[in-house]
């Protein structure tokens, strides 16, 4: 067990750098009976069936954490991946958070699978894994519901599920994140202008229900929620609904592509966002990300990492804009190339699938960089534009 002095304070979001944790990876043979979820499209995972752009560094994992695929490395080794259902692997991920000074995670709980027994069982298993791992390694966690893919009338499933989790006393965990004296629950996907099937009225009912249950409610919203442009709905209902929450967190992945654009976004968008929130007694949680790619999933061009400079420029910009908390997208998302956990510089080789690497950097480079981001956020190390880590090794 972690000594009390090394445990993250679960009473506030202030001063925290937290990652999104998808926890959505399943493998054939992991006991979930779901097949290759988020590695490929269910059937055998191999060169003709892959949906990830980064390959996890499997070198530290034990034999009972490794699941063989049809991929081969250049030296002929079998390509192996992990499952989020395996408690040992989730525990390892939380140990990395502890070792590198990352405060914890928003654990993703996709709402569109809550009524499917097998999918819900997988989500519950990952939640159970995260609960015990957060306790063992002194990290914090909060549940984040993603509304993506919900049909009209289905938002109510979230409140029902949350109350089921309440019966399991999830928020009673010492490591469950609180803010302003109440447990934090996040709802992602409110106010986007991409013709979602569910309504703002349903979202308002969900927020009201969560508030009634005594929660601090965080909302994942579009980047231009305040101006109601680009990725945001133009509905006049939006701002009153957002004002009824406690924390706003605008999604920025793909909204800028270079350090210069990130700095400008912080100045022109985040800063006035933060002022808007401050005037209404809301907190503001900006999202930063290391780069982006979904070539094997959808094709197209990605957003380069620039050996950590892209991510660091956003952390610096968030701090300069006045942010007291930061959300890193994501800890484990190899699907869209946003992962910051240990990924391989020696992925499998195939003419049908191409993988990114960490450009020869140590596989723990981004974990260390995010840990440094937390130190900058809290004022423990000076705020500088230069990377706080050497990229030579």
Residue 384: how many other CB atoms lie within 10 Å: 10
pLDDT band at 314 (very low <50, low <70, confident <90, very high): very high
Instruction: For residue 247, give the 3-state DSSP assignment.
Output: strand
**393: pLDDT strictly greater than 60:** no
The span from the CA of 342 to the CA of 284, in Å, is 29
For the chain, the first-to-last Cα distance in angstroms comes to 32
The span from the CA of 120 to the CA of 161, in Å, is 10
Please state the φ and ψ torsions of residue 125, each to the nearest 5 degrees: -65, -45
Whole-angstrom CA distances from 36 to 1, 24, 53, 220 are: 33, 10, 15, 28
Tens-place pLDDT, residues 74-97: 999 999 999 999 999 999 999 999
Please report the beta strands in the chain, taking only residues with DSSP state E, as ranges in sequence order: 17-21, 36-37, 41-42, 67-72, 78-81, 104-110, 140-146, 178-179, 182-188, 216-221, 247-250, 283-284, 287-288, 326-328
Whole-angstrom CA distances from 190 to 84, 106, 198, 202, 239 are: 27, 17, 10, 10, 11
Establish whether the linkage from the previous residue to 330 is cis, with ω within 30° of 0. Answer: yes
Mean pLDDT, rounded, of the chain: 97
pLDDT band at 2 (very low <50, low <70, confident <90, very high): low
What is the average per-residue pLDDT within 38-45?
87
Hey, what are 39's tokens? 């590695």
The span from the CA of 247 to the CA of 103, in Å, is 18
**312: pLDDT strictly greater than 90:** yes
338-347 residues labelled b (16+ CB within 10 A) or e (exposed): bbbbbbbeeb
Of residues 129, 173, 171, 170, the one with CA closest to residue 21? 129
* Ramachandran quadrant class, 101 (left: phi over 0; alpha: psi -120 to 50; beta: rest): left
The span from the CA of 171 to the CA of 160, in Å, is 15
pLDDT at 198: 98
pTM above 0.85, yes or no: yes
**26: pLDDT strictly greater than 80:** yes
**3: pLDDT strictly greater than 70:** no
pLDDT at 44: 83
What is the average per-residue pLDDT within 251-257?
98
Cα angle 156, 110, 155; round to 5: 15
In the chain, count of helices (H) and strands (E)? 9, 14
What is the average per-residue pLDDT within 22-36?
96
Q: What percent of the chain has pLDDT over 70?
A: 98
Tens-place pLDDT, residues 351-378: 999 999 999 999 999 999 999 999 999 9
pLDDT band at 43 (very low <50, low <70, confident <90, very high): confident
Instruction: For residue 284, give the 3-state DSSP assignment.
Output: strand
**249: pLDDT strictly greater than 60:** yes
Of residues 84, 166, 83, 179, the one with CA closest to residue 140? 179
Tens-place pLDDT, residues 142-178: 999 999 999 999 999 999 999 999 999 999 999 999 9
């Amino acid at each position: 067990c972690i000594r009390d002095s090394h445990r993250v304070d679960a009473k506030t979001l202030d001063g925290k750098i937290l990652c999104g944790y998808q926890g959505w990876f399943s493998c054939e043979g992991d006991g979930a009976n779901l097949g290759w979820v988020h590695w490929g499209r269910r059937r055998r995972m191999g060169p003709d069936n892959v949906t990830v752009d980064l390959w996890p560094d499997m070198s530290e994992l034990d034999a009972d954490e490794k699941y063989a695929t049809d991929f081969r490395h250049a030296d002929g080794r079998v390509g192996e991946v992990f499952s989020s259902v395996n408690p040992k692997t989730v525990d390892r991920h939380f140990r990395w958070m502890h070792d590198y000074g990352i405060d914890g995670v928003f654990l993703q709980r996709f709402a569109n699978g809550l009524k499917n027994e097998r999918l819900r069982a997988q989500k519950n298993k990952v939640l159970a894994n995260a609960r015990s791992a957060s306790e063992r390694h002194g990290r914090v966690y909060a549940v984040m519901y993603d509304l993506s893919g919900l049909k009209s009338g289905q938002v109510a499933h979230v409140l029902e599920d949350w109350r089921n989790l309440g019966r399991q006393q999830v928020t009673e965990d010492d490591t469950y994140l609180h803010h302003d004296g109440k447990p934090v629950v996040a709802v992602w996907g409110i106010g986007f202008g991409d013709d979602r099937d569910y309504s703002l009225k349903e979202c308002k009912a969900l927020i009201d229900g969560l508030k009634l249950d005594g929660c601090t409610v965080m909302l994942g919203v579009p980047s231009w929620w305040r101006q109601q442009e680009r990725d945001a709905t133009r509905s006049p209902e939006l701002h009153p609904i957002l004002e009824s929450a406690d924390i706003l967190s605008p999604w920025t992945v793909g909204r800028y592509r270079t350090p210069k654009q990130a700095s400008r976004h912080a100045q022109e968008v985040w800063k006035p966002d933060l002022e808007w929130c401050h005037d209404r007694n809301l907190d503001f949680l900006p999202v930063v990300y290391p780069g982006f790619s979904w070539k094997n999933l959808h094709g197209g061009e990605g957003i380069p990492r620039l050996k950590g400079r892209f991510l660091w420029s956003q952390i610096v910009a968030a701090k300069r804009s006045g942010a007291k908390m930061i959300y890193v997208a994501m800890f484990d998302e190899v699907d869209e190339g946003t992962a910051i956990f240990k990924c391989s510089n020696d992925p499998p080789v195939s003419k049908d699938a191409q993988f990114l690497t960490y450009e020869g950097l140590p596989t723990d480079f981004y974990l260390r960089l995010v840990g440094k981001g937390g130190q900058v956020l809290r004022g423990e190390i000076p705020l500088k534009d230069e990377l706080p880590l050497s990229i030579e090794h």
